[in-house]
Structure 1
């Protein structure tokens, strides 16, 4: 199949189409993927900023009243449509004019007590926004006092050569010192982190016995923080069913032992709920459609490459197809000019190879037929010339008085004339067979009786040649055939066997059934036929011995007539032989099925 012309043409077309599709898809993906990734990155960053801003608003306001201005400002700065709605579907705020329908799906839930970690990857483990401080928010007076203490600690450390830090204010207003390059911790309790009110050094700016400066005391909880801690501790104790120590870390975030982490998170949500806005659905509209940037020069280049590839493949396939066709054309013209040896060198396979092989077979057949035609003309001329020369010579001799036209000479002349008529009759039968006009008169015939009759007729000729003619038949072998033509065919085979079998040999005539066919065989014990001669045995005027003497062969038409007669009956004529072991000629005829 891979050498088939159809398969190659289809494969070439598919290859070109696939290359075009792949190139087009690759170009489109390459032209738009960068823009899409850029837009997706901008969209995610924008969504995170919007969500963070609204979370900050919700963490610092107990209601959503007044969020409209914030929503519009965020929409303007991010070039997006932003809408907020309650979980029941009531619209809280919308940056779009005309109040169009909300998108079918919310982008996120804005809830400072349950932060969406997909938009806030660094959220605390309890998912409570750090800006939600509720009752821990310090008044201005306490903020000023704590700030003075922290500033004094930072100045003391700087005078004593401690590593300098930065004073940072936590979400609730509590200031603390953060080491440069370190971020404040806002997660749960850390046993290694100082808690508010824990002594880590003397209260004054002093040094230890080795001369190194000592850390100062972390400012203790304010009155506001104490009240909030008392309330929170009560909630945690109720959850744990035992008293739990609840404190603050240096940023002002409540802490508790790790075993009470879940109860602390639940207690904080209960405590903070009145101070933060309720959860709301956030809708963020798609950004404006932007036409991806496409490189026209890239498209032109890829198109040129595809065109060049298509042309190259087409030229290659066409060249491989045209080359053998041109070779066949050239050989055909040589044949027309009279060169019978014109052949095509077959290299390709598939339909093109079959075309070359068929042309070579046709050329060889025509060359053989031409040689046979010339040989036939020569043979016919020779076969007719010999008896005609004999007849003419004896008649001229009798006319001149040289020979006496006695009964013996007359019989010889009659024999020569009979031979002429036989040759003419054979040629006529060959001509009728070639033209498809060989007439048969089929009738029910028993092959066994027919074989016995033919053996009886030729037994005398076999005895005269010193041969034994036997038959091997049994039963009944009915068939529909022309008995005269069939006798002629079998008689030709027997005559041929008698002619080529040396004296003392044997000729056997057999008839038997083979399935639904009747086989008639004529076997001899002659010299046999060489393998290279077997394909030409049934050709007209063919002789293994090229001598034209009638003592070594007949006219060369007998076996050709046998084949035509067998084919006219719908059968076949074949031969099998080995040199030195005789030859067996087989007529295969279709038997007749007898009905009751």
Structure 2
């Protein structure tokens, strides 16, 4: 069973199908993994932008009233549904029309006092949005005053060829950012209490208030650090001041910032002779900031249980020692809670937008269907392929049983059709050979029986005294014996040719001389039959051949032509060179050969006259011997004829076919 073609084809198809499924799945996974990651990154970035925008709204509004327009704008920008709901499920705002159900899971929790770090990378450890300033937000008057002071410091630094930029913190406090030059506290500036952190950089001076009284302990100084992505950077402004006057007293109304007289990239104005060096100290806390710091310090003291220093960094953000960081975060949330919107659930997308999942049952089902189709197709193809083979096998077995007419009916094309056609040709050839073998046995027995019967009859008559062994009878018996010997010699010669043991002695042969010799031997028989025998040789062709065997072949053709040509006819011998071959033709003007008999002319014992009379033909071996001798010389024998137009037998022999 395992050697069955059907089983092997089905197994091969299943294996190919399985390998194809695995390879396709692997290539699809590799091809789509990058796209999936890219989509996930885009989705995460989109969700982060929406979350950040809503965090900014919550940080600057104590309620969600009026957030609807912001939600709809974010939905238009992202192309997704955006919805906000309270933690109890009450809908706050929704970009979808009607009351469409919310997705099963929220995308994020919008709470500026507990920021989702997965959507806001780089968030500080206290998870409080930097835009939440609450009571630390400066009024416009304090912002203007601080800007004048910081602008004057920036102008002074530029005169000293230092790069400085005025940056505005979330609460509205401006501060300096200098590049390449570290800043140290000015002489006389108080240091923070022991254990207090140094802010965002080394030796970062700050303003500190006592946790008990809220009095000033240290001045706010400039800290050198890169601006965060959410900070708003303003162009540095330079105030026009008169030497010896404090900034802001140049004649302009107090509280109105003066315009910078220079532009970025322009050379700074020269320093006035005798002007003091630039001070690195930042302006101290304003009245608004002091009140907020007093409130925050009280909350930190309640949480920590001891006196803790609380101060503002250069951006206006409260800071405390590391030991009180947790209490500071808790106190800030308690202080800022009334100023921000309550926590809300953010929904992005529709209820149908679910994470893609893999259905193993679906994959198994598709795989099973593919395998079934592959097996079914393989069985169908294998059946169509094996049907002709089975037919050929059955016909071969019938032939072995003796049915020579066994044939196969093959309608298929391609290799299967060629196999059936080749088998039919082989079967027909074997059947014809078998018929020829049987006919040859019959013909041999007939050819031998006639002379043997004649010899036996005359010898028995002489033995009985009925006939006398006179010279005439003896000559007749000798003639019959010679005929027997001739038949036996022809059969032996054909057997040697079939076995490839026919010995040839090649030598250079002049074709013209060979034809003249052969014609001379048969001129007397031609004259006795009333025939004209001619010889025509074009050029002087030579070839390497066995002259004895070649004369025998030409003689057999000439004898056959003389026998079948009626009196008054012509028989011609002709030879000429054709390329590398020499052609010898024997043509007669006899009755010709019927077209249906031409394929059998060179078969053994074949005769058109089935009676096998001596008057109508010989033994039927002469032409078979001619073909064998031509093939032994690496040549061929052919015949062309038409009824009542005579026949032409042609020997094609290579000039150098037997050299060496």
User: TM-score range, shorter-chain basis?
Assistant: 0.5 to 0.7
Is the CA contact 1:497–1:507 (under 8 Å) kept in the aligned structure 2? Answer: yes
Q: Paired residue for 2:180?
A: none
Equivalence for 2:366 = 302
Q: Describe the SS at the equivalent of 1:405.
A: coil
Contact conserved, 2:569 with 2:590, CA < 8 A, in 1? yes
In the other structure, the counterpart of 2:242 is none
Cα distance in 1, alignment partners of residues 46 and 632 from structure 2: 95
The equivalent position to 1:535 in structure 2, one of 569, 588, 599, is 599
Whether the 8 Å CA contact 1:31–1:294 is kept in 2: the answer is no
- Quick one: which of 577, 582, 590 aligns to 1:513? 577
1:307 Cα deviation (Å)? Answer: 1.4
- CA distance in 1 between counterparts of 2:410 and 2:39 reads 61
In structure 2, how many angstroms separate the alpha carbons of the residues matched to 1:559 and 1:75?
115
Mapped contact 2:576–2:584 kept (Cα < 8 A) = yes
In the TM superposition, what is the alpha-carbon distance from 1:71 to its structure 2 partner? Answer: 12
Residue 450 of structure 1 is matched in structure 2 by 514
The SS at the match of 1:471 is: strand
Of 462, 470, 481, the residue aligned with 2:526 is 462
- Aligned partner of 2:484 in structure 1 is 420
Residues 159-178 of structure 1 deviation map (CA, whole Å, 9 limit, x = unaligned): xxxxxxxxxxxxx9xxxxxx
TM-score by length of 2: 0.53
Please state how far the C-alpha of 1:351 moved relative to its aligned partner: 2.5
Alignment match, 1:217: none
Counterpart of 1:270 in structure 2 is: none
How many angstroms apart in 1 are the aligned matches of 2:542 and 2:379?
Answer: 65
Unaligned runs of 5+ in 2: 1-5, 62-108, 132-136, 143-171, 173-254, 264-314, 318-353
Which of the two has greater helix per residue?
Answer: 1
Q: 1:58 Cα shift?
A: 12
Q: Does the C-alpha gap of structure 1 residues 72 and 10 become closer, same or farther in structure 2, counting only changes over 3 Å? A: same
> What's 1:495 paired with?
559
* Cα 1:135/1:542, change in 2 over 3 Å: farther
Distance 1:580 1:393 in 2: 41
Alignment-derived partner of residue 49 in structure 2: 48
| Aligned 8 A contact 1:31 1:293 in 2 | no
Shift of 1:430: 0.8
> Which runs of no fewer than 5 residues in structure 1 stay unpaired?
61-69, 85-92, 97-111, 113-133, 140-171, 173-226, 236-274, 278-289
Task: Tell me, yes or no, if the aligned pair for 2:605 and 2:621 is still in contact at 8 Å.
Answer: yes
After superposition, what is the alpha-carbon deviation per residue over 1:536-559, rounded to whole angstroms, capped at 9, x for unaligned? 111101112212101111101001
Following TM superposition, by how much is the alpha carbon of 1:22 offset from its aligned partner in structure 2, in angstroms? Answer: 8.4
Please tell me whether the aligned partners of residues 72 and 95 of structure 1 are also in contact (alpha carbons under 8 angstroms): no
> Which stretch has the larger CA shift, 512-521 or 22-31?
22-31
Q: For residues 342-381 of structure 1, what are the structure 2 equivalents within 5 Å? A: 342-381=406-445
SS at match of 1:573: strand
Alignment RMSD: 4.6
Partner residue in 2 for 1:562: 626
* 2:357 is aligned with 1:293: yes
TM-score of the superposition, structure 1-length normalised?
A: 0.58
Residues 81 and 546 (structure 1 numbering): CA distance in 2 closer, same or farther, change over 3 Å? farther
- Distance in 1, matches of 2:126 and 2:644, equals 113
CA-CA distance at 1:138 after TM superposition = 10
1:77 aligns with 2:116: yes
CA 1:343–1:94: 2 relative to 1, 3 Å: farther
In the TM superposition, what are the counterparts of 1:21-100 in structure 2 within 5 Å? Answer: 24=25, 39=40, 42-52=43-53, 76-77=115-116, 79-80=118-119, 82-83=121-122
* 1:518 and 1:591 in contact (8 A); partners too: yes
Contact 1:529-1:582 at 8 Å conserved across structures: yes
Matched-pair contact (CA < 8 Å) for 1:518–1:590: yes
CA contact under 8 A between 1:81 and 1:95: conserved in structure 2? no
